[in-house]
Structure 1
Amino acid sequence: MTSPAATGDREKVVSKLPGWLRQNLKVRAAQHGIEIQTAVEQGISAWIDLASAREPIDTAGADSFATFLPEGQWETFRAVASDRRVSLIQGLAQSVQLWLDTTPAPDIERPTITRRIVVCNQKGGVGKTAITAGLGEALAEDSNTLHPVRVAKALTAALRASATHTSEEGPDQNPLEIESLPGPGLRVLLVDFDPQCHLTNQLGGTPLPMDGDSLTNHMAGDPKGDLRDLIVSVDDDTFDGRLHLLPACHDAFLLDVRLSAVRAREAALERALTPLESDYDVIIVDCPPSLGLSMDAAAYYGRRRDGERPGQSGALIVVQAEDSSADAYDLLTHQIEDLRNDLALDLDYLGIVVNLYDGRRGYIATSSLQGWVDIKDPRVVGLVSDLKEQKEAVRMKQPLLSYAPTSQQAISMRALAREIS
């Protein structure tokens, strides 16, 4: 049937579609960045132009489906369906399936040079590990599934609102800022570079034994095997083999001492990880709270390489909305600037993530957030609230985005992933 309701030169059409077909349509339209009504219009137009009807579609369980079509298209469609002796529901299902068949899912956009993201801050407790994990999970999510995402254009407004917001819900609760988008579907390696092994433990992994092989051994030039053999897959049910973890070992406490005897020690992490890069689109390094040689090596690994676009790799700085984070930030940026100057590095700042934000803390939190926003370069690229789901996921030793995929923190992690892409 056709409703008198209209938008522009379109008229509202109400029919029925099977749930599975409607979901496939919704995902494919989102993958191509077009509206569902446009996809249906194209499918109906192509179906009308066919010489005859296609193979029947199973429409059992079809329920109400509404869209807007150009004026007159539905009447033409009804006439063609009548000539072909198929029901309107069957004809619509065939039209949608025809569009799906002729509009395949786009290829995953993979970087030509493996992206290297160094998550850092020499202050402990700011949540570097949570951001490392959440960012990696968001980048590895299924490209054939829709996930709730805070749209990038809303970030500035959210930051502005947060700086003056003190309610318990916070700006994250605004449903107008959320849309459903396909996952990036990238191959991601998370590197636990912290001897405390927080990332390894949070994702349910096991720290590497002290008497075995480790990333530290490879950086120190004393490998005991292939580094690939140490890598484990994370939650294949959710990430389908796209998300991997290189676990940490407590021997990393000795890394600075061992690096002091290594030639070109600033390149030690790069020498260790370069053989792995062909397997991944993105490598994310969870750095220790340190300004020692290990941080030098991490920063060097994140430098921009020949032929790489600015902003693809670099340092992602995690802070909190309080004064001690600002002090630590100054120390870290001084170290990075020294490396830039001493080694002539093109090391990009990917941005600042304000983590564990809670506007209920009042002026200390809101004024500190405003201070981060005022920096401009690097700019704030993420705001993650202090909510219970992340803590629960850590307790359960599960990835946040599989434990609580629709939580506000998960939505914020996806927004961060897109903001720095």
Structure 2
Amino acid sequence: MTTPSPQGDREKIVSKLPPQLRQELKIRTAQLGVDIQDAVHAGITDWSGLASAPSPVETTGSEPFSTWLPSGQWETFRAHCKDRGVSLVQGLAQAIHLWLEKNPPPTVQRPVVVRRVVVCNQKGGVGKTAITAGAGEALAEDSNSLYPVRIARQLAALSDDASALDLEDLPGLGLRVLLVDFDPQSHLTKQLGCSPLAMGADSLTSHMAGEGKGPIQDLVVPIDDERFGGRLHLLPSCTDAFLLDVRLSTVRAREAALERALAPLESSYDVILVDCPPSLGLSMDAAVYYGRRRDGEAPGSSGALIVVQAEDSSADAYDLLTSQINDLRDDLRLDIDYLGIVVNLYDARRGFIATSSLQAWMDIKDPRVVAIVGDLKEQKEAVRMKQPLLSYAPKCDQSIAMRALAREIS
């Protein structure tokens, strides 16, 4: 069946395809940035140019499928199918299967230098842990599956109309991610259903103090969820981190202590996200130093991601944090990049304080706002269930926002 296109150069065709083949086509075209109609056109062209029809494709359970093709191509294809003794459904399935074979999925682009994202704010309660976990989960989602992503247009986000933002199904990023719980309160560890390391046992703190009892790799635990395919891992916290600043005071080159501790892990990951404590002490110095730009690393690959809320106390904490980062820049002559500001737990219904504070964050151009995440129930429910947000509610607005954030910082 065909329907003329309003533009006159294409016509709508209606046929059938096996659901699995249709899904593969949808994913592959998204991965390669190709329109489905162009892929089908190319597949039919290549199939028609073969000397004979290729091996049959299983078409049992085929479902309706439609797309737009150049005028006349479908009728020519219909004639080729008749000549080869195959049905239109079988011929179309073979043509799409041929296109998939000729256009394999792209490989995941892995950074030369592991990217290090330091998620920070001196103020507690702004949701650093939720942002660390959510961004890490989004970075690790399967690159051969599609997930809803809201393409960030921050000015549109100022309105209450969610339809002002575009929603697309995009492939996961498929990166190998390590989440580091650097906060002695262990919120990240507990939220992901893991247990903090025991006091007196080996921990990140002991490795930073130069007193590690074994390979730090032995402390890492996987986040067991098929969505992440073994790519998402956690370095749990230990309450001994409450004493970290005291222990670091006697350590040589203490600002590099976190980097020395994590160095044996870096070759196994593409991105390392550090969930920082609400502190401006020596441990924060070590975290910021870890996120500095290394030799040969492109600007904006690593750095500080600052989480705030749309209220006044976040602004005060922001000023303290950026002053500390700028002092480290000057004192140690470091290149420390700001990856952006995340306005978390936003709810326009809170009135003028929320909306005017959000506008104030939006007015900052360096660093710029890279995500606005709503204050919704799904995150709280995921914490209660001790499940990753993107597994618990993969299509909720918060999950969609996390995927947009992951693309901003990846």
Alignment TM-score > 0.5, same fold: yes
Q: Does 1:316 align with 2:305?
A: yes
Structure 1's 148 and 8: CA in aligned 2 closer, same or farther, altered over 3 A?
farther
- 5+ residue gaps, structure 1: 162-169
Report the counterpart of residue 184 of structure 2 in structure 1: 195
Report the counterpart of residue 4 of structure 1 in structure 2: 4
- 5+ residue gaps, structure 2: none
Q: Percent identity?
A: 72
What is the number of equivalent residue pairs in this alignment? 410
TM-score, normalization by structure 1:
0.96
CA displacement at 1:377 relative to structure 2: 0.6
Report the counterpart of residue 86 of structure 1 in structure 2: 86
Superposition RMSD in Å: 1.0
CA offsets per residue over residues 242-289 of structure 1, 9 Å max, x none?
Answer: 000000000000000000000100000000011110000000000000
Q: Does 1:250 align with 2:239?
A: yes
Kept in 1, the 8 Å contact 2:186–2:236? The answer is yes
CA displacement at 1:358 relative to structure 2: 0.2
Corresponding residue to 1:277 among 266, 281, 286: 266
Structure 1's 406 and 115: CA in aligned 2 closer, same or farther, altered over 3 A?
same
1:17 alignment partner AA: L
What is the alpha-carbon distance in structure 2 between the residues aligned to residue 263 and residue 144 of structure 1?
46
Report the counterpart of residue 387 of structure 2 in structure 1: 398
Report the counterpart of residue 149 of structure 1 in structure 2: 149
1:14 alignment partner AA: V
Q: Does 1:27 align with 2:16?
A: no
What is the alpha-carbon distance in structure 2 between the residues aligned to residue 209 and residue 176 of structure 1?
45
Secondary structure at the aligned position of 1:338 is classed as helix
My pick for the range that moved more, 380-389 or 52-61, is 52-61
CA displacement at 1:176 relative to structure 2: 5.5
Report the counterpart of residue 98 of structure 2 in structure 1: 98
CA offsets per residue over residues 94-136 of structure 1, 9 Å max, x none?
Answer: 0010001111000001111100000000100000000000000
CA offsets per residue over residues 187-230 of structure 1, 9 Å max, x none?
Answer: 00000000000000000010000121000000000000010000
CA displacement at 1:8 relative to structure 2: 5.4
1:68 alignment partner AA: W
What is the alpha-carbon distance in structure 2 between the residues aligned to residue 240 and residue 176 of structure 1?
30
Report the counterpart of residue 167 of structure 1 in structure 2: none
CA offsets per residue over residues 325-381 of structure 1, 9 Å max, x none?
Answer: 000000000000000000000000000000000000010000000000001110000
What is the alpha-carbon distance in structure 2 between the residues aligned to residue 156 and residue 359 of structure 1?
14
What is the alpha-carbon distance in structure 1 between the residues aligned to residue 127 and residue 241 of structure 2?
20
TM-score, normalization by structure 2:
0.99
1:92-241 to structure 2, matched below 5 A, reads 92-152=92-152, 154-158=153-157, 160-161=158-159, 170-171=160-161, 173-174=162-163, 177-241=166-230
Structure 1's 8 and 394: CA in aligned 2 closer, same or farther, altered over 3 A?
farther
Secondary structure at the aligned position of 1:155 is classed as coil
Report the counterpart of residue 336 of structure 2 in structure 1: 347
Report the counterpart of residue 164 of structure 1 in structure 2: none
Report the counterpart of residue 363 of structure 1 in structure 2: 352
CA displacement at 1:58 relative to structure 2: 1.0
CA displacement at 1:155 relative to structure 2: 3.1
Kept in 2, the 8 Å contact 1:21–1:97? The answer is yes
Q: Does 1:44 align with 2:33?
A: no
1:57 alignment partner AA: V
CA displacement at 1:6 relative to structure 2: 4.1
